[in-house]
Chain A
Amino acid sequence: MVKVLHIDAGQCTGCHQCEMACSYHHEGAFNPSKSRIKVFKFKETGRNVPYVCTQCADAWCLQACPVDAISVNAATGAKEVSADLCVGCKVCTIACPFGTINYNSISTKVDKCDLCGGDPDCVKVCPTPALTFIEAESAGMDKMRHWAQKTDAGNQALSD
Chain B
Amino acid sequence: MSWTKNVLRVNLTSGTCESEPLNMEWANKYLGQRGLATKYYTEECDPKVDPLSPENKMIVATGPLTGTAAPTSGRWSVITKGALTGAIACSNSGGFFGAELKNAGWDMIIFEGKSAGPVYLDIHNEKAELKDASALWGKSVWDTEDALRDIRGDKDIRCASIGQAGEAQALFAAIVNDKDRAAGRSGVGAVMGSKNLKAIAVRGTVGVQVGDPMKFMQATGACNQILADNAVTGEGLPAYGTQVLMNVINETGALPTHNASDVQFDGASDIGGEAMTTPRETDGKANLVSNAACFGCPISCQRVSQMDPNHFSVKGQPKYHDTSGGLEYEAAWALGAATGVNDLEALTYCNFICNEYGMDPISLGSTVAAAMELFKLGAITEADTGGIALEFGNAEALCKICDQTGLGEGFGKEIGQGSRRMCEKYGHPDLSMTVKSQEFPAYDPRGIQGMGLTYATSNRGACHLRSYTVASEVLGIPEKTDPLSSEGKAGLVKAFQDATAAVDSMGLCVFTTFALTLDDFGPMVDADLEGEWSAESLLEIGERIWNLERKFNNEAGFTAADDTLPKRLLTEAAKTGPAAGKVNELGKMLPEYYELRGWTPDGVPSNETLNRLNL
Chain B residues lying within 8 Å of A100, measured Cβ to Cβ, are none
Question: In whole angstroms, what is the CA distance A128 to B238 when docked?
Answer: 11
Q: Does A31 contact B (CB under 8 A)?
A: yes
> Which residue on B lies nearest to A45, using beta carbons?
B323
A-binding segment of B262-270, B289-297, B446-454: B289-297
Closest 4 CB pairs of A and B: A31-B207, A29-B207, A46-B323, A15-B293
A-binding segment of B5-13, B84-92, B298-306, B481-489: B298-306
Q: Does B115 contact A (CB under 8 A)?
A: no
Interface centre among B291, B292, B297 (most CB of A within 10 A): B292
B 262-289 binary contact with A (CB < 8 Å = 1; else 0): 0000000000000000000000000001
A 1-34 binary contact with B (CB < 8 Å = 1; else 0): 0000000000001111100110110011111111
Q: Does B204 contact A (CB under 8 A)?
A: yes
B295 touches A30 (CB 8 A): no
> Which residue on A lies nearest to B100, using beta carbons?
A32
B 226-243 binary contact with A (CB < 8 Å = 1; else 0): 001000000000100000
> Which residue on A lies nearest to B208, using beta carbons?
A30
Interface size class of B (residues with CB under 8 A): 35 or more
A28 touches B323 (CB 8 A): no
A13 touches B206 (CB 8 A): no
Chain B residues lying within 8 Å of A45, measured Cβ to Cβ, are 322-323
Given A125-B69, A127-B224, A127-B300, does the pair A31, B292 have CB atoms closer than 8 Å? Answer: no
A15 touches which of B103, B205, B208, B297 (Cβ 8 Å): B297
A 47-72 binary contact with B (CB < 8 Å = 1; else 0): 11000000000000000000000000
Chain B residues lying within 8 Å of A23, measured Cβ to Cβ, are 207
Q: Does A43 contact B (CB under 8 A)?
A: yes
Chain B residues lying within 8 Å of A137, measured Cβ to Cβ, are none
B290 touches A46 (CB 8 A): yes
Q: Does A44 contact B (CB under 8 A)?
A: yes
| Shortest distance between the CB of B315 and any CB in chain A (Å) | 19
Interface size class of A (residues with CB under 8 A): 20 to 34
B209 touches A33 (CB 8 A): no
> Which residue on A lies nearest to B142, using beta carbons?
A43
Q: Would you mind naming 26 contact pairs between A and B with Cβ atoms under 8 Å apart?
A: A13-B293, A14-B292, A16-B295, A17-B296, A17-B298, A28-B209, A28-B213, A30-B207, A30-B208, A32-B99, A33-B156, A33-B204, A33-B205, A43-B179, A43-B322, A43-B323, A43-B324, A44-B322, A44-B323, A46-B289, A46-B306, A47-B290, A48-B292, A127-B224, A127-B228, A127-B298
Question: In whole angstroms, what is the CA distance A43 to B178 when docked?
Answer: 10
Chain B residues lying within 8 Å of A24, measured Cβ to Cβ, are 69, 213
B323 touches A31 (CB 8 A): no
Chain B residues lying within 8 Å of A127, measured Cβ to Cβ, are 224, 228, 298, 300
B298 touches A15 (CB 8 A): yes
Question: In whole angstroms, what is the CA distance A125 to B221 when docked?
Answer: 8
| Shortest distance between the CB of A115 and any CB in chain B (Å) | 19
Q: Does B342 contact A (CB under 8 A)?
A: no
Question: In whole angstroms, what is the CA distance A125 to B69 when docked?
Answer: 9
> Which residue on A lies nearest to B228, using beta carbons?
A127
B322 touches A34 (CB 8 A): no
B69 touches which of A30, A34, A48 (Cβ 8 Å): A30
> Which residue on B lies nearest to A32, using beta carbons?
B103
Give A contacts to B, CB under 8 Å.
Answer: 13-17, 20-21, 23-24, 27-34, 43-48, 125, 127-128
Chain A residues lying within 8 Å of B292, measured Cβ to Cβ, are 13-14, 46, 48
Chain A residues lying within 8 Å of B99, measured Cβ to Cβ, are 32
Q: Does B432 contact A (CB under 8 A)?
A: no
B224 touches A15 (CB 8 A): no
Chain A residues lying within 8 Å of B324, measured Cβ to Cβ, are 43
Q: Does B437 contact A (CB under 8 A)?
A: no
Chain B residues lying within 8 Å of A14, measured Cβ to Cβ, are 292-293
| Shortest distance between the CB of A101 and any CB in chain B (Å) | 18
> Which residue on B lies nearest to A16, using beta carbons?
B295
| Shortest distance between the CB of A43 and any CB in chain B (Å) | 7
Question: In whole angstroms, what is the CA distance A81 to B295 when docked?
Answer: 29
Chain B residues lying within 8 Å of A128, measured Cβ to Cβ, are 300
Chain B residues lying within 8 Å of A46, measured Cβ to Cβ, are 289-290, 292, 304, 306, 323
Question: In whole angstroms, what is the CA distance A31 to B295 when docked?
Answer: 12
Chain A residues lying within 8 Å of B289, measured Cβ to Cβ, are 46
Question: In whole angstroms, what is the CA distance A33 to B102 when docked?
Answer: 13
Chain B residues lying within 8 Å of A16, measured Cβ to Cβ, are 96, 293, 295-296
Q: Does B67 contact A (CB under 8 A)?
A: yes
Question: In whole angstroms, what is the CA distance A15 to B238 when docked?
Answer: 13
Chain A residues lying within 8 Å of B207, measured Cβ to Cβ, are 23, 27, 29-31, 33-34
Q: Does B500 contact A (CB under 8 A)?
A: no
| Shortest distance between the CB of A32 and any CB in chain B (Å) | 7
B67 touches A30 (CB 8 A): yes
| Shortest distance between the CB of B114 and any CB in chain A (Å) | 33
Q: Does B68 contact A (CB under 8 A)?
A: yes
> Which residue on A lies nearest to B213, using beta carbons?
A24
Chain A residues lying within 8 Å of B210, measured Cβ to Cβ, are 30
| Shortest distance between the CB of B124 and any CB in chain A (Å) | 11
Which residues of B, 579-613, contact A by the 8 Å Cβ criterion? none
> Which residue on B lies nearest to A29, using beta carbons?
B207
Chain A residues lying within 8 Å of B103, measured Cβ to Cβ, are 30-33
Question: In whole angstroms, what is the CA distance A102 to B306 when docked?
Answer: 35
> Which residue on A lies nearest to B103, using beta carbons?
A31
Given A14-B292, A17-B296, A44-B322, does the pair A31, B228 have CB atoms closer than 8 Å? Answer: no
| Shortest distance between the CB of B387 and any CB in chain A (Å) | 35
Question: In whole angstroms, what is the CA distance A125 to B296 when docked?
Answer: 10
Chain B residues lying within 8 Å of A125, measured Cβ to Cβ, are 69, 224
Chain B residues lying within 8 Å of A30, measured Cβ to Cβ, are 67-69, 103, 207-210
B296 touches which of A20, A34, A47 (Cβ 8 Å): A20
> Which residue on A lies nearest to B227, using beta carbons?
A127
A31 touches which of B208, B238, B290 (Cβ 8 Å): B208
> Which residue on A lies nearest to B291, using beta carbons?
A13
Q: Apart from A13-B238, A28-B209, A30-B207, what are 13 other A-B pairs with CB-CB below 8 Å? A: A13-B291, A13-B292, A14-B293, A16-B293, A17-B69, A20-B68, A20-B69, A29-B206, A30-B209, A31-B208, A32-B103, A33-B207, A127-B228
Chain A residues lying within 8 Å of B296, measured Cβ to Cβ, are 15-17, 20
> Which residue on B lies nearest to A31, using beta carbons?
B207
Chain B residues lying within 8 Å of A21, measured Cβ to Cβ, are 69
Chain A residues lying within 8 Å of B206, measured Cβ to Cβ, are 29, 31
Chain A residues lying within 8 Å of B304, measured Cβ to Cβ, are 46
Chain A residues lying within 8 Å of B228, measured Cβ to Cβ, are 127
| Shortest distance between the CB of B223 and any CB in chain A (Å) | 12
B205 touches A31 (CB 8 A): yes
> Which residue on B lies nearest to A10, using beta carbons?
B290
